[in-house]
Amino acid sequence: MPKLPKGFNPKKHDDMNDYTPIPKGEYPAAIKKSEMKPTKSNKDGENDNEYLQLDFHILSGDYKGKVIFVRLNLVNENAVAVDIANKELATICRACEISDPEDSEELHGIAMTVEVAIEPGNGDRADQNKITMYTSGDDAPKGKKDKKAEKKDPPHKGGNKGKKEVDDDDDDDIDLSDLEQADLVSLAVTLDLGKKMKLRKKDTADLIDMIEECDAEDIEEALDELDLI
């Protein structure tokens, strides 16, 4: 009977990734990781071609947390492939409202709308998602709301930092510190606390402090509008 490697502990590892395509449609998403990688022909020593991989995470709705990979052939012998990649990257930058990025990390964590299609598989490759358009997060749809979760209390962990209690029929607590920086920016914009470009430069703690100055009912309405509760 085969023995497992010594020291293996399932508790130390996340679940395997689910690459099942999500349905065609528009989703709120943000880039969480980016990396330049060599193409297969580069690895084989045929050329110096490279592509930029962007990992888009769905931010809310039934498919929150799903990842869609975008690969842009920015360094390639094929001029047409490079032109297509440059146009797609430019569209992503405009959706992020960043005009002159020097590093792909500047595009991380900025909410935007992505239009998702399903690309049919062929041979050994299964069907997979493909992003066909990117637009500003101000117009982002809120995703499909999970009706079963509507009655659940929103999560609230840890201490009092960033917590805002809202008096309603269920006495729910809203913990702003559970939100990601991109969600806090969207929340601040919805509450008319400033322009998105300036708000993005603030850290999480400053954003929470600004939001907590607002009326509790306004915060709750904005959170509901953004589908964050």
Q: What is the pLDDT of residues 80-106, one digit of tens each?
A: 999 999 999 999 999 999 988 999 999
| Torsion sign, CA atoms 197, 202, 205, 206 | negative
Residue-level pLDDT at 82: 97
Question: Percent of the chain beyond pLDDT 90?
Answer: 45
Write down the architecture of domain 19-139 according to CATH: Beta Barrel (2.40)
Q: Is the pLDDT of residue 177 over 50?
A: yes
- Give the closest residue to 92 by CA, choosing from 39, 175, 29, 23: 29
- Give the closest residue to 86 by CA, choosing from 98, 97, 75: 75
Spatial separation of the C-alpha atoms in residues 162 and 22, rounded to whole Å: 33
Question: If pLDDT is split at 50, 70 and 90, which confidence band does 141 have?
Answer: very low
pTM for the model stands at 0.59
**Lowest mean pLDDT: which of 24-28, 115-119, 151-155, 224-228?**
151-155
Residue-level pLDDT at 111: 93
Q: Is the pLDDT of residue 63 over 70?
A: yes
Q: Is the pLDDT of residue 149 over 50?
A: no
Question: If pLDDT is split at 50, 70 and 90, which confidence band does 138 have?
Answer: low
Angle (nearest 5°) at CA 107 between 105 and 113: 150
Per-residue model confidence as pLDDT tens digits over 201-219? 788 888 899 999 999 888 9
Q: Is the pLDDT of residue 170 over 80?
A: no
Task: Write the CA distances from 90 to 53, 94, 110, integer angstroms.
Answer: 15, 6, 15
